[in-house]
Structure 1
């Protein structure tokens, strides 16, 4: 049975469309196992078609005008919040049972979120301001902050799952780059982009420097969005210079980033796209919420930061540009460190955490002996077991009875919507555990392996709080398992001829 997931977000020329873009990236990972609906305010109705065109099969609904103008970056007033929640409820009531409500909006806080308690199964919040309380089961903030682990401690409940940092960056599939060309000795190509709207016209200011004679040997690609109010003037500048190429609202940004030697742009979500492909960057903060991110990244040497758009100084920018062009060592460092921080799989990981909360895990009962025998003995699961041979029902029954009665093991069955999807076993030695996990026949290659592993680890934390580490033995040929264990923070600690031993501290 498909799940039912709803996004409440907004985006327009005034506020930018970064919130919408990251929600679209996440929706694409969800839509294979869920029906997805976007809910927008009346102020964002102009991007309804854009979302429909770019999010696959997602449904898009627009709220009636609530009669309150939203000030970007500020929480809704109490009256505005209640009115928005009421109209949102009206749409949700027509969608059937909703498994997850995902809010990505600076106007939304705990007052709005509490209106949906009991109406939806779970609530997730996507945020990056950490300036208001939230009532949610999952809190996501993909940004780089020196204090990222503690920013939300006083703003969410202790039980809230916090997905924090660039490992969870919501990027499109195209940014899962496996190979990156070596950093060149010389900068031959620069990519310039300041987001979908560029309200402060920073692109134009940067191009005034890049069009100077000393940079005519460098190819410059300029990308704007459909909502950029100065896009026509920028196109004209590009048309007047043979080393410039202008593009608008493209769907191959990763390709351009992989081809570029240097990026010049904003400090928003494209920062994680650039890091994923290993592209060194000079950045300018174009919004208040970007400034601390830019400063913290610059402190770690990950980017070169030249200040805010409102305080833009062309001489400072030019000085930084010349320094970066000469400094191959820094460009190499930024490229390598960026790829370590962002692997491009953030949307897959976040989607897996969402689905993990829709999985129920229970101890296996005596009546399930035969079912588990059939699941264990399926060819696909035996292919990835250490032995790989078929075993008899009698030997299985002896094993099953021993495992179920043992105090040193737990045999668990995972289900969703009353359908069994997988089996997990934990074997304990002191404060250490060994995990064995497999999906039931019919559930392979459907994206349930990672949610099952996450749900299993959560069960262990809740039920065996003395356990300090988890190990897993994985066959070298089992690439899918190696990927999901890496996605949950396991690291290889040893290898043998056929297997590798993985470890995660709890």
Structure 2
């Protein structure tokens, strides 16, 4: 069976969708070795394409090099019609640029259509065979319910990398002293939130060890390194980190965006404080706040650094709160969500036509 995955990623727009789809693709071929997976991507980043190819997946290039989520519908459909064995195949879309009209057009070309959505219910038409929203806010988005559409909604369906699966890591225990804190806002961090958070920690008491993880392609990496050298705390800056789960489990607190990265932390049970850095992260961040699975630092567009400083100092001091966050998070987020989604897709594809 052929499965086509439509996603994009680059240092500018981020790698979250590509990493999420690579995790799903690996689970599909692990469950069904006869599945052949093709990634359909615009030519935004050679390093991202090579990352996918190293996993053994073929990359089909769609014209377009503009580093945004906006796509050219004609170019998309031209490539899909030419390259995809569509009438027998499965299309999995994880892309904000696929609006209602394009989803309609693509649906007519494939046997099965799976849509991974975060916050765009208007495009979730009844002709979609499976809808997956792995976020805390999934139940509040307002998806219409259709009789023949399978909907997998909520963090129990989080599509996470294998290292975050329940069988892949030891149990996490909350320590009374909060001394080791990790800061990560993605590989590129185009708004340079990392440097601002690092500077803020100079106002926090205690002898802390801060681990900063970012990418070598981060344009502000030298500013971050200077901030690390000038910090009153011990700061370790890392790039090209492969096993994030291992790094997370060594920490007492994580400071992260309210994205898939936060779901990864919660699958491990590591307490985290999250900041909504993009519009698509805001619903999930607010839902995490309401369910008290993280400490919510707010919306970056309206950031109040004094409130964030006081909030971080509070959670560092409060071991009981960190313990409650750990328990609630693990109750909500399923580290085996990628396997569940992969099995559901394969079961759906095996149904008679």
Query: Radius of gyration: which is bigger?
Result: 1
CA 105–117 in structure 1, closer or farther in 2 if over 3 Å, else same: closer
> Is 1:249 aligned with 2:240?
yes
Distance of 2:76 and 2:90 partners within structure 1: 18
Q: Quote the residue 2:59 is aligned against.
A: 60
The runs of 5 or more residues in structure 2 that have no matched partner are none
State the 1:71 CA deviation.
4.7
Q: How does 1:298-377 map to 2 (within 5 A)?
A: 298-360=289-351
- Does the aligned pair in 1 maintain the 2:172–2:270 contact within 8 Å? no
SS state of the match for residue 342, structure 2? helix
Q: Quote the residue 1:47 is aligned against.
A: 48
CA 319–63 in structure 1, closer or farther in 2 if over 3 Å, else same: same
Greater shift, 234-243 or 131-140, is seen at 234-243
Deviations 1:107-162 (A, max 9, x none): 113422333345322010111013422341111110002x61662117xx432111
- What TM-score do you get using the length of structure 2 for normalisation? 0.90
- Does the aligned pair in 2 maintain the 1:45–1:62 contact within 8 Å? no
Greater shift, 19-28 or 179-188, is seen at 179-188
SS state of the match for residue 111, structure 2? strand
- Does the aligned pair in 1 maintain the 2:183–2:255 contact within 8 Å? yes
What is the RMSD of the two structures over their aligned residues, measured on CA atoms?
Answer: 2.3
Q: Quote the residue 1:148 is aligned against.
A: 139
SS state of the match for residue 302, structure 1? coil
Number of aligned residue pairs: give it: 345
From the two aligned structures, give the one with the greater helix fraction: 2
State the 1:206 CA deviation.
0.4
State the 1:260 CA deviation.
0.5
SS state of the match for residue 264, structure 1? strand
> Is 1:120 aligned with 2:110?
yes
Q: Quote the residue 2:161 is aligned against.
A: 172
> Is 1:275 aligned with 2:266?
yes
Distance of 1:199 and 1:271 partners within structure 2: 18
- Does the aligned pair in 2 maintain the 1:220–1:243 contact within 8 Å? yes
Q: Quote the residue 2:228 is aligned against.
A: 238
> Is 1:193 aligned with 2:184?
yes
Q: Which has the higher contact order (CA 8 A, sep 6+)?
A: 2
Q: Quote the residue 2:25 is aligned against.
A: 27
- Does the aligned pair in 2 maintain the 1:139–1:163 contact within 8 Å? yes
- Does the aligned pair in 2 maintain the 1:102–1:124 contact within 8 Å? yes
Q: Quote the residue 1:481 is aligned against.
A: none
- What TM-score do you get using the length of structure 1 for normalisation? 0.64
State the 1:84 CA deviation.
1.5
- Give 1:285's match in structure 2, choosing from 276, 287, 294: 276
The runs of 5 or more residues in structure 1 that have no matched partner are 362-416, 418-506
Distance of 2:238 and 2:82 partners within structure 1: 40
- Does the aligned pair in 1 maintain the 2:10–2:48 contact within 8 Å? yes
Q: How does 1:416-495 map to 2 (within 5 A)?
A: none
State the 1:212 CA deviation.
4.5
Distance of 2:177 and 2:51 partners within structure 1: 38
Distance of 1:309 and 1:272 partners within structure 2: 19
